[in-house]
């Protein structure tokens, strides 16, 4: 009987009776709440798994796009280098051609200037020779010596004209 007088015993009995009487009423909502919580956690885990798979797919696609973009950039860079080299080569060729044309033009101008200088010297020499001949003839020839020369030049004129027509 000693056990019936212990307050802990009666507390344990009260606790057991409380659960027997109110256990079903409390257990069902508690179990339902735990089941709901368990279902919610399971749904969250499934959603997290689905999102993880989507993220991995997006990441994989992004990596493929990155690699494709990198390959495209490298291809474009190579094409740009080739185009730049072609442009530079064409520019060198055009510059060389322009230099040759300019050199030829300078040569032609120089030859033209040289020919003009030669012609100017010849004209000046001819003018000086004519002036000198005029002065020599004027000092040597007199009126009496002139007349036979003029008569002979006039008589030879038709023959000189005929010869000139055959040459031309």
Question: What mean pLDDT do residues 78-100 have?
Answer: 94
How far is Cα 27 from Cα 29, in angstroms, rounded to an integer?
Answer: 6
Q: Quote the pLDDT of residue 102.
A: 93
The per-residue pLDDT for 93 is: 94
Q: What pLDDT is stored for residue 41 in this prediction?
A: 94
Q: Which pLDDT score, from 0 to 100, does residue 1 have?
A: 56
**136 pLDDT band (50/70/90 cuts)?**
confident
Mean pLDDT score across all residues of the chain: 87
d(CA 23, CA 3): 26
CA angle 92, 80, 75 (to 5 degrees): 145
Residue 8 has pLDDT above 90, yes or no: no
Q: State percent of the chain over pLDDT 70.
A: 97
**Mean pLDDT calculated for residue range 84-91:** 94
Q: What is the distance between the alpha carbons of residues 78 and 83, in angstroms, rounded to a whole number?
A: 9
What's the pLDDT tens digit per position in 35-76?
Answer: 999 999 999 999 999 999 999 999 999 999 999 999 999 999
pTM: 0.40
Query: Domain limits of the chain?
Result: 67-141
């Amino acid at each position: 009987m000693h056990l019936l007088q212990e307050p802990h015993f009666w507390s344990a009995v009260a606790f057991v009776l409380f659960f027997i009487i109110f256990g079903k009423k409390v257990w069902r909502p508690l179990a339902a709440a735990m089941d709901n919580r368990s279902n919610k956690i399971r749904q969250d885990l499934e959603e997290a798994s689905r999102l993880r798979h989507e993220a991995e797919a997006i990441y994989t696609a992004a990596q493929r796009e990155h690699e494709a973009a990198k390959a495209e950039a490298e291809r474009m860079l190579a094409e740009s280098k080739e185009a730049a080299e072609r442009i530079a080569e064409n520019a060198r060729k055009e510059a060389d051609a322009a230099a040759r044309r300019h050199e030829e033009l300078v040569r032609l101008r120089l030859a033209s200037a040289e020919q003009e200088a030669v012609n100017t010297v010849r004209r000046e020499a001819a003018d000086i020779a004519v002036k000198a001949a005029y002065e020599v003839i004027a000092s040597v020839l007199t009126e009496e010596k002139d007349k036979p020369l003029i008569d002979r030049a006039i008589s030879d004129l038709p023959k000189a004209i005929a010869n000139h027509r055959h040459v031309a």
